[in-house]
A = this chain, B = another copy of it.
Amino acid sequence: MPEQQLTRRDRYRRRTVAEIKEAAMAQVRSGGPEALSLAAIARTMAMSAPALYRYFAGRDELLAELAVDTHLALARTLEAAAAGATTPASRLRAVAGAYREWALAQPHAYRLACESPHGCVASAAQRSMNVLLDVVAEAGAPPDAAIPAPLRAQLHRWNDGAGRRGHPAGVRHFGLVWWSRLHGLISLELGQHTVGTGIDPGLLYRSEVETMVDSLRHGVTAGP
Protein backbone atom coordinates (compact mmCIF):
# COMPACT_ATOMS: atom_id res chain seq x y z
CA MET A 1 0.00 0.00 0.00
CA PRO A 2 2.37 2.75 -1.18
CA GLU A 3 1.61 6.43 -0.80
CA GLN A 4 0.49 6.74 -4.42
CA GLN A 5 -2.27 4.21 -3.83
CA LEU A 6 -4.01 6.75 -1.67
CA THR A 7 -6.90 8.51 -3.30
CA ARG A 8 -6.77 12.21 -3.93
CA ARG A 9 -9.18 12.84 -1.10
CA ASP A 10 -7.13 10.81 1.35
CA ARG A 11 -3.98 12.69 0.57
CA TYR A 12 -5.81 15.96 0.91
CA ARG A 13 -7.19 14.82 4.24
CA ARG A 14 -3.73 14.04 5.51
CA ARG A 15 -2.55 17.47 4.55
CA THR A 16 -5.49 19.03 6.34
CA VAL A 17 -4.93 17.01 9.48
CA ALA A 18 -1.28 18.00 9.47
CA GLU A 19 -2.18 21.64 8.98
CA ILE A 20 -4.66 21.54 11.86
CA LYS A 21 -2.13 19.95 14.16
CA GLU A 22 0.48 22.46 13.11
CA ALA A 23 -1.77 25.39 13.96
CA ALA A 24 -2.83 23.68 17.18
CA MET A 25 0.74 23.00 18.29
CA ALA A 26 1.65 26.61 17.59
CA GLN A 27 -1.06 27.66 20.00
CA VAL A 28 0.00 25.15 22.62
CA ARG A 29 3.62 26.18 22.33
CA SER A 30 2.83 29.81 22.88
CA GLY A 31 0.10 29.56 25.48
CA GLY A 32 -0.11 26.07 26.84
CA PRO A 33 -2.76 23.40 26.48
CA GLU A 34 -5.46 25.58 27.99
CA ALA A 35 -4.87 28.19 25.29
CA LEU A 36 -5.82 25.83 22.49
CA SER A 37 -8.94 27.09 20.78
CA LEU A 38 -10.73 25.32 17.96
CA ALA A 39 -12.21 28.62 16.88
CA ALA A 40 -8.77 30.18 16.60
CA ILE A 41 -7.43 27.25 14.62
CA ALA A 42 -10.34 27.51 12.23
CA ARG A 43 -9.68 31.22 11.92
CA THR A 44 -6.04 30.84 10.95
CA MET A 45 -7.01 28.18 8.43
CA ALA A 46 -9.84 30.25 6.96
CA MET A 47 -12.28 27.51 7.83
CA SER A 48 -15.41 27.35 9.90
CA ALA A 49 -14.95 25.88 13.34
CA PRO A 50 -17.44 23.01 13.01
CA ALA A 51 -15.47 21.71 10.05
CA LEU A 52 -12.73 20.67 12.46
CA TYR A 53 -15.05 18.05 13.87
CA ARG A 54 -14.65 16.12 10.62
CA TYR A 55 -11.07 15.50 11.72
CA PHE A 56 -11.21 15.31 15.51
CA ALA A 57 -13.91 14.24 17.88
CA GLY A 58 -13.34 17.35 19.93
CA ARG A 59 -10.88 19.51 21.73
CA ASP A 60 -9.78 16.81 24.15
CA GLU A 61 -9.04 14.26 21.49
CA LEU A 62 -7.02 16.79 19.53
CA LEU A 63 -5.01 17.58 22.65
CA ALA A 64 -4.40 13.89 23.27
CA GLU A 65 -3.09 13.42 19.74
CA LEU A 66 -0.86 16.43 20.11
CA ALA A 67 0.50 14.98 23.32
CA VAL A 68 1.37 11.75 21.56
CA ASP A 69 3.06 13.59 18.70
CA THR A 70 4.97 15.67 21.19
CA HIS A 71 6.26 12.59 22.96
CA LEU A 72 7.45 11.14 19.70
CA ALA A 73 9.23 14.38 18.81
CA LEU A 74 10.94 14.35 22.19
CA ALA A 75 11.96 10.74 21.67
CA ARG A 76 13.51 11.58 18.31
CA THR A 77 15.46 14.39 19.92
CA LEU A 78 16.78 12.08 22.61
CA GLU A 79 17.70 9.46 20.03
CA ALA A 80 19.65 12.03 18.09
CA ALA A 81 21.45 13.17 21.22
CA ALA A 82 22.35 9.60 22.11
CA ALA A 83 23.61 8.93 18.61
CA GLY A 84 25.78 12.03 18.69
CA ALA A 85 27.79 10.99 21.73
CA THR A 86 30.63 8.49 21.82
CA THR A 87 31.33 7.10 25.28
CA PRO A 88 28.64 5.66 27.57
CA ALA A 89 29.05 8.39 30.19
CA SER A 90 28.97 11.15 27.60
CA ARG A 91 25.87 9.57 26.13
CA LEU A 92 24.17 9.76 29.50
CA ARG A 93 25.08 13.41 29.82
CA ALA A 94 24.03 14.13 26.27
CA VAL A 95 20.61 12.56 26.68
CA ALA A 96 20.00 14.27 30.00
CA GLY A 97 21.13 17.60 28.58
CA ALA A 98 18.99 17.23 25.47
CA TYR A 99 16.01 16.38 27.63
CA ARG A 100 16.28 19.61 29.57
CA GLU A 101 17.10 21.71 26.52
CA TRP A 102 14.06 20.39 24.77
CA ALA A 103 11.80 21.03 27.72
CA LEU A 104 13.08 24.56 28.25
CA ALA A 105 12.79 25.39 24.57
CA GLN A 106 9.09 24.57 24.58
CA PRO A 107 7.90 24.47 28.15
CA HIS A 108 4.23 24.44 27.29
CA ALA A 109 4.64 21.48 24.99
CA TYR A 110 6.53 19.68 27.72
CA ARG A 111 3.67 20.27 30.11
CA LEU A 112 1.22 18.97 27.53
CA ALA A 113 3.25 15.81 27.10
CA CYS A 114 3.92 15.06 30.73
CA GLU A 115 0.77 15.98 32.53
CA SER A 116 -1.77 14.45 30.18
CA PRO A 117 -3.28 11.63 32.19
CA HIS A 118 -4.14 9.54 29.14
CA GLY A 119 -3.03 5.99 28.67
CA CYS A 120 -2.21 6.48 25.01
CA VAL A 121 0.11 9.29 25.94
CA ALA A 122 1.92 7.14 28.46
CA SER A 123 2.55 4.51 25.83
CA ALA A 124 4.03 7.12 23.53
CA ALA A 125 6.37 8.12 26.32
CA GLN A 126 7.71 4.58 26.21
CA ARG A 127 9.81 5.48 23.22
CA SER A 128 11.71 8.13 25.14
CA MET A 129 12.02 5.67 27.97
CA ASN A 130 13.62 3.17 25.62
CA VAL A 131 16.35 5.62 24.74
CA LEU A 132 17.10 6.04 28.41
CA LEU A 133 17.05 2.31 29.03
CA ASP A 134 19.47 1.58 26.21
CA VAL A 135 21.87 4.25 27.34
CA VAL A 136 21.71 3.09 30.94
CA ALA A 137 22.20 -0.52 29.90
CA GLU A 138 25.25 0.43 27.91
CA ALA A 139 26.72 2.32 30.84
CA GLY A 140 26.22 -0.66 33.12
CA ALA A 141 23.44 -0.49 35.66
CA PRO A 142 23.56 -1.69 39.26
CA PRO A 143 22.88 -5.38 39.84
CA ASP A 144 19.30 -6.57 40.25
CA ALA A 145 20.07 -7.81 43.75
CA ALA A 146 20.24 -4.25 45.06
CA ILE A 147 16.53 -3.74 44.37
CA PRO A 148 13.88 -4.66 46.96
CA ALA A 149 12.38 -8.01 46.00
CA PRO A 150 8.74 -7.02 45.28
CA LEU A 151 9.80 -4.10 43.13
CA ARG A 152 12.33 -6.29 41.39
CA ALA A 153 9.60 -8.76 40.50
CA GLN A 154 7.43 -6.05 39.02
CA LEU A 155 10.33 -4.63 37.07
CA HIS A 156 11.03 -8.05 35.70
CA ARG A 157 7.44 -8.50 34.59
CA TRP A 158 7.35 -5.11 32.92
CA ASN A 159 7.47 -5.60 29.19
CA ASP A 160 9.31 -2.57 27.96
CA GLY A 161 9.90 -1.88 24.27
CA ALA A 162 7.58 -4.34 22.55
CA GLY A 163 9.55 -6.77 20.43
CA ARG A 164 12.93 -5.85 21.87
CA ARG A 165 15.06 -7.88 24.13
CA GLY A 166 14.19 -7.05 27.71
CA HIS A 167 16.51 -5.16 29.97
CA PRO A 168 17.46 -6.50 33.39
CA ALA A 169 15.62 -5.15 36.40
CA GLY A 170 18.59 -3.06 37.46
CA VAL A 171 18.54 -1.20 34.16
CA ARG A 172 14.81 -0.69 34.29
CA HIS A 173 14.93 0.56 37.81
CA PHE A 174 17.74 2.94 37.12
CA GLY A 175 15.99 4.17 33.97
CA LEU A 176 12.78 4.91 35.82
CA VAL A 177 14.59 6.66 38.62
CA TRP A 178 16.67 8.63 36.18
CA TRP A 179 13.64 9.77 34.31
CA SER A 180 11.74 10.79 37.41
CA ARG A 181 14.68 12.73 38.77
CA LEU A 182 15.25 14.65 35.56
CA HIS A 183 11.58 15.31 35.22
CA GLY A 184 11.30 16.45 38.82
CA LEU A 185 14.01 19.06 38.46
CA ILE A 186 12.68 20.32 35.15
CA SER A 187 9.17 20.45 36.45
CA LEU A 188 10.21 22.58 39.39
CA GLU A 189 12.24 24.81 37.11
CA LEU A 190 9.30 25.33 34.78
CA GLY A 191 7.10 26.09 37.79
CA GLN A 192 9.47 28.93 38.65
CA HIS A 193 10.18 27.39 42.00
CA THR A 194 13.82 28.36 41.88
CA VAL A 195 13.50 31.98 40.83
CA GLY A 196 13.30 33.42 44.32
CA THR A 197 16.26 31.44 45.52
CA GLY A 198 18.92 32.79 43.19
CA ILE A 199 19.92 29.25 42.33
CA ASP A 200 20.68 28.40 38.72
CA PRO A 201 18.51 25.41 37.85
CA GLY A 202 21.03 24.36 35.23
CA LEU A 203 23.74 23.94 37.83
CA LEU A 204 21.46 21.92 40.05
CA TYR A 205 20.46 19.78 37.09
CA ARG A 206 24.01 19.10 36.00
CA SER A 207 24.98 18.29 39.54
CA GLU A 208 22.18 15.75 39.74
CA VAL A 209 23.20 14.25 36.40
CA GLU A 210 26.77 13.97 37.58
CA THR A 211 25.59 12.26 40.74
CA MET A 212 23.80 9.67 38.69
CA VAL A 213 26.63 9.16 36.25
CA ASP A 214 28.93 8.57 39.19
CA SER A 215 26.56 6.13 40.82
CA LEU A 216 26.45 4.15 37.59
CA ARG A 217 30.20 4.11 37.44
CA HIS A 218 30.33 2.70 40.94
CA GLY A 219 27.47 0.30 40.39
CA VAL A 220 25.19 1.56 43.11
CA THR A 221 21.96 3.42 43.43
CA ALA A 222 22.33 6.08 46.04
CA GLY A 223 21.09 9.45 47.24
CA PRO A 224 22.12 13.04 46.45
A: residues with CB less than 8 A from B are: 34, 111, 114-119, 121-123, 125-126, 142, 147-148, 150-151, 154-155, 157-158, 160, 173-174, 176-185, 187-188, 190-200, 203-204, 207-208, 210-216, 218, 220-224
Contacts and interface: CB of A to CB of B under 8 A. Distances in A.
Contacts of A119: 192, 195-196
Q: Give the interface centre of A111, A182, A192 by most chain B CB atoms within 10 Å.
A: A192
A103 to B, nearest CB: 13
B177 A122 contact: no
A180 B181 contact: yes
A118 B214 contact: no
A79 to B, nearest CB: 19
Contact of A187 (B114, B125, B210, B220): B114
A121 B187 CA distance: 14
Contacts of A190: 115, 117
A154 B199 contact: yes
Contacts of A177: 204, 208, 223-224
A47 to B, nearest CB: 25
Indicate how many identical chains form the complex: 2
B188 A180 contact: yes
B224 A148 contact: no
Contact of A211 (B115, B116, B157, B221): B221
Contacts of A126: 196
Given A122-B193, A158-B199, A184-B187, 16 more contacts: A114-B188, A115-B190, A116-B191, A121-B191, A154-B199, A154-B200, A154-B203, A158-B198, A176-B204, A177-B204, A180-B185, A180-B204, A181-B184, A211-B222, A222-B222, A222-B223
